[in-house]
Chains A and B, each alone.
Chain A
Amino acid sequence: MANLRAIRKRVSSVKSTQQITRAMKMVSAAKLRRAQDAINAARPYARKMREVVTAVAGRAGAEAHPLLTAREAKKLALLVVTSDRGLCGSFNSGLTRAVYRFLNEHRGEYEEITLFVIGRKGRDFFRRREIPIRKEYLGVLGSVSRQHAETLASDLVGGFLDGEFDEVQIAFNEFRSAISQVVRFEKMFPIALESSGETAGDEVDYLYEPSREEILATLLPKYVQTMILRVLLESVAGEHGARMTAMDSATNNSVDMIARLTLQMNRARQATITTELTEIVSGAEALKG
């Protein structure tokens, strides 16, 4: 039978762990709400941006700007969005594993796959496997801002325009709901145009100021930025959601564990009392005899 004092100690340690997981869950829930608000607030801009880009690029045609022109995809750049912190269930491991598989499966298709990694967790994963990372971005996700999206966009767009890679994809956790995040690979650019309908129905072209080409040249990088910003925001929301769920089940587990330990503890106490009683009784019996 386990020693009473050891069990007691164990219970108090589980209890303090439980306090931590419970607090983390609450913090994540609050952060999740804020992250969701940020996603919602960013939505109108992103939607307008997409509308305008589709309208303008549809009229201008794919040759109007390199970001619209599909090339033969020999070299791929992949942006992997993980988190800086752990304790969020399979949020990071699910994604890094999917990317790892992707790398193995598609190695033959591309001449080269360049990795850009956001988040400490992803960086550590690829470092351990000695997969070269072109550039890593740490501490971005604590406070996602437009500046971060801008740097990322200019790195990726710059490399693309210089011909370092022909296609850019992004791998991230899409935020479905607080309890569901889905690993997604999305092609960022060259920007694929929805060629159907929309533009053909529009009778008049815009007047442009300055020229259409100049507008496209500033509009498209902005569009890439908003796409990246959206992905970052979704990933942050997903991270908090995943952490909240993970911490919730950790708290539940600790409740179960405490119940089990308490039972054990009571049994042990009862057992000692019983032994003591037997000893006293048998001692008294012996004296009588």
Chain B
Amino acid sequence: MASTIRLELVTPERLVLSEEVDEVVAPGHEGEFGVLPGHTQFLATLNIGVMWYRKGSGINKLALGGGFAEVTHDRVVVMADTAERADEIDLERAQRARDRAEARLKELTMDDETHEKARAALNRALVRMAAGGGE
């Protein structure tokens, strides 16, 4: 059995990474799940959230904007709507986005149409901050 897994992360705009890694943890729709080599075939939808993978002892984080993951015993393919590596994340911008979203949420009521949008924006900003700042 393979001792590593091939992690491929693609977004509609680009191939973000394609690497041999030891472990992957992704934000599944029904909770975070981890993948080690030899995992069973698995298909899941992903939430907005932080994903990370381990290569040796180094851990890399990414901010995901939702998507799908296909897992086979030696491969993980993540099809994300958006994905940013920790080193690509602009923390200040994420903070500003969070502040903006929070301010907007305060003005809106729950049944406002844009409420959901603002919440999603807040969520994305928080995820970015978590992925980018938590080294």
Asked if A140 is an interface residue, CB under 8 A from chain B, the answer is no
What is the CB-to-nearest-CB distance from B9 to chain A, in angstroms, rounded to a whole number? Answer: 10
User: Which B residue sits closest to A45, measured CB to CB?
Assistant: B10
Name the interface residues of B6-21: CB closer than 8 Å to any CB of A. 8, 10-15
| Nearest CB in chain B: distance from A52 CB, A | 5
**Within the assembled complex, what's the spacing in Å between the Cα atoms of A146 and B81?**
9
List which B51-102 residues lie within 8 A (CB) of chain A. Answer: 68, 70, 77, 79, 81
Closest to B79 in A: A48
B contact residues, total (Cβ < 8 Å) = 22
Check if B29 sits within 8 Å of A45, measured CB to CB: no
Contacts of B105 in A (CB 8 A): none
Chain B residues in 8 Å Cβ range of A225: 12
Chain A nearest CB from B39 CB (Å) reads 10
Q: In this assembly, does B111 line the interface, its C-beta being within 8 Å of a C-beta of chain A?
A: no
Q: Which of A16-24, A101-109, A214-222 lies on the face that meets chain B? A: A214-222
Alpha-carbon separation in the docked complex, A237 to B1 (Å): 44
Partner of B43, one of A42, A52, A149, A226: A52
Task: Categorize the interface residue count of chain A.
Answer: 20 to 34
Q: Which of these, A48, A149, A204, A222, contacts B10 with CB under 8 Å?
A: A48
Complexed CA–CA distance, A204 and B70 (Å): 14
Asked whether any CB of chain A lies closer than 8 Å to the CB of B41, the reply is yes
A52 to B15, CA, bound (A): 17
- A206 CA to B11 CA, complexed, in Å: 22
List, in ascending order, chain B residues with CB within 8 A of A207's CB.
40-43
**Told that A41-B15, A48-B10, A215-B43 touch, could you supply 19 new A-B pairs with CB distance under 8 A?**
A45-B12, A52-B43, A56-B43, A149-B12, A204-B41, A206-B41, A206-B70, A207-B40, A207-B41, A207-B42, A207-B43, A208-B42, A209-B30, A209-B44, A209-B45, A210-B30, A215-B44, A222-B68, A226-B12
